[in-house]
Amino acid sequence: MAVSNSSSDKGTRNLVIGMVVFIVLIGVIFSFISNRSSTTAMVPASVSAEDGYGIVINPTATPTVDIYLDYQCVVCKNFEIINGGYINEIAAQNKAKVVFHTMSFLGAESVIAANAAACAADEGKFLEMNLALFQNQPTSHDSGMWAGDFMKRLGNSIGLNSATFEKCVAEGDYIDWTRNVAQASAAADVNSTPTVKINGKEIDRNTEYMDPVKFRAALAAGGVK
Amino acid sequence: MQNQSSKSIGSRVLNLLASNQPWLTLIGRLILGGVLLTAGALKVGKPQLSAMSVRAYELLPTDIANFFGYVLPWFEVALGLLLIIGAGVKVCAVLGGATMLIFIFGISQAWARGLNIDCGCFSAGGVVEPGETNYLSSIIRNIGLTVVAIYLYRFPKGRFGLDK
């Protein structure tokens, strides 16, 4: 053999290092590409790019209440139980512009749920679907429950029976849009869910999220009458 | 007499460590590499969560924090794999040790500033409820791993490694 033992060892070692570095670089590139926002994504009618691709209710009302959530987030579910009724009241009575940012960092089923919520928004039933999703939150992330025709049946249970809705959840019309929401929320430096902002300023995480009285007071202080 | 006996025990321990150095290096590689590979693998599939963890330290501008959030899990996977295989151990030990020092700094400053965050070391991350932080145990773990990294830098050649 022309090559000595030790130099062929070195060649193997360098080859292995090269392969690991190569695979990891591919992985990094894949992560960036598969999560970047899409300029061609279909977006629900009530979504506004200026509002971080969130689903907007009462676009002309003031003040603006931004709610960032992930449908698989347990604290978000508790927040919905505590404050959801009041938020829905604000939305129904046009007391504020309410923007829902359906983030999806907790896994694939968060994406499926956000898509379904957007499909419901197109039918004017976002708030109902929002509640139904939290009421049917699986006990673990990506449990397999939010798959198949689950979102169609969940929609049916709250009166969403149109062919448009069923196609929207079955084909995942707004899957690409969920990445735009994620990117916009990341750019807005949202580091936790739920996050609630009034006119762009977050309310006090230590006291005002999980206490219905303090939550109302915080919104009132922000101009919600 | 007492002194001499303890000295001989001490030197016997040193001898034992020295004669088993290749095995200790292997164990060190598996510990540091195993932790890095696990930490990275738990995060590669959730880059948004990883980016959120980095943002929550409130150390870097948002864009740069998001960039590191995407890169860091893969970087950990690479270091972990190479350490376990035993290829380029010395360089990986330096990078792994430096990473641990940065983590220690990041966690300490978050603690000192009174932020309530999960370290985002393994999978979870971001802001958590007050009282759900575990800064001290994360710092102790990272100090231990830094010691392992220093040992691997000093003694990079061990059993079952590709480095010859």
Could you report the per-residue pLDDT of A122-160, keeping only the tens digit for each? 999 999 999 999 999 999 888 999 998 999 999 999 999
Q: Which of A34-43, A198-207, B9-18 has the lowest mean pLDDT?
A: B9-18
User: What domain range is B130 assigned to?
Assistant: 21-154
CA distance B115 to A192: 12
Q: Is residue B9 part of a domain?
A: no
Whether residue B14 has pLDDT greater than 80: no
CB of A36 within 8 Å of a chain B CB? The answer is no
Provide, as residue numbers in chain B, all residues whose Cβ is less than 8 Å from the Cβ of A25. Answer: 74
Q: What is the pLDDT of residue A6?
A: 64
Provide, as residue numbers in chain B, all residues whose Cβ is less than 8 Å from the Cβ of A9. Answer: 162, 164
Q: Is residue B56 part of a domain?
A: yes
Residue spans of the domains in chain A: they are 1-35, 47-221
**In which residue are the tokens 């109902």 written?**
A128
Rounded to the nearest integer, the mean pLDDT of chain A is 91
Q: What is the pLDDT of residue B5?
A: 55
- Its pTM stands at 0.84
Among candidate residues A48, A178, A181, A55, the one with its CA nearest the CA of residue A113: A178
Shortest Cα–Cα distance, A159 to chain B (Å): 33
The two three-digit tokens of residue A82, written as one number: 């505590």
Instruction: Closest CB to B62: pick one of A106, A187, A206.
Output: A187
The contacts found for A128-136 with CB under 8 angstroms, 24 or more apart, are A128/A158, A128/A159, A129/A154, A129/A155, A129/A158, A129/A160, A130/A80, A130/A84, A130/A100, A131/A80, A131/A84, A131/A88, A132/A157, A132/A158, A133/A71, A134/A71, A134/A76, A134/A77, A134/A80, A134/A81, A134/A84
CA distance A117 to A126: 6
Architecture of domain A47-221: 3-Layer(aba) Sandwich (3.40)
Q: Is residue B12 part of a domain?
A: no
Q: Which of A162-166, B10-14, B25-29, B77-81 has the lowest mean pLDDT?
A: B10-14
- Yes or no: say if B40 and B56 are a contact pair by the CB < 8 Å rule: no
**CB distance A16–B85 less than 8 Å?**
yes
Instruction: State mean pLDDT over A9-33.
Output: 90
Q: Is residue B4 part of a domain?
A: no
Instruction: State mean pLDDT over B123-146.
Output: 84
Is the complex ipTM more than 0.85?
Answer: no
| Cα A20 to Cα A11, A44, B32, B89, B100, distances in angstroms | 14, 41, 17, 13, 21
**CB distance B162–A28 less than 8 Å?**
no
Q: How many domains does chain B have?
A: 1
